[in-house]
Amino acid sequence: MRTFNVTVNGQAYEVSVEEVTSGEQPVVAPAAHVAPKAAAPKAAPKAAPAVAGSGTPVKAPMPGTILDVKVKVGDTVTNGQAVCVLEAMKMENEIPAPKAGKVTSVLASKGASVNTGDTLVTIE
């Protein structure tokens, strides 16, 4: 007998399965109702979003994880300079500044997960 955890429609069940080798006939046992396991704990509420500074936002082009933030508030950047490194689908993508200017806010942090369109940095 092998035991597996199976989730169906968000409900977790523990299931026992008998392994049958060639030549043997499986033993049919009456079905037993298995009580569902307790529901997984709910995720903690998200923190309030950081406030973006004034200027042009640099947005995440795809969902992923921030590996590095290369600028801080007050830094001067050039057009095309990398402001963040975003990992998406096992690839590291440098996110460039869309224009030259001064960084007014940094909303991304190392290790954070971002979605497409999330503001990472603002440049004025």
Give which of 54, 107, 124 is closest to 95, Cα–Cα: 107
List Cα–Cα distances, 68 to 27, 64, 78, 95, 123, in angstroms. Answer: 57, 12, 18, 10, 18
Over pLDDT 90: what percentage of the chain?
Answer: 53
Q: Is the pLDDT of residue 29 over 70?
A: no
Question: In the prediction, which pLDDT does 120 show?
Answer: 93
CATH architecture of 56-123: Beta Barrel (2.40)
Q: Is the pLDDT of residue 52 over 80?
A: no
- pLDDT tens profile 9-24: 888 888 887 777 766 6
Over pLDDT 70: what percentage of the chain?
Answer: 74
Domain map (residue ranges) of the chain: 56-123
Grade residue 104 by pLDDT with cuts at 50, 70 and 90: very high
Considering the chain, what is the average pLDDT of its residues? 82
List Cα–Cα distances, 75 to 53, 97, 105, 115, 120, in angstroms. Answer: 13, 12, 10, 25, 15
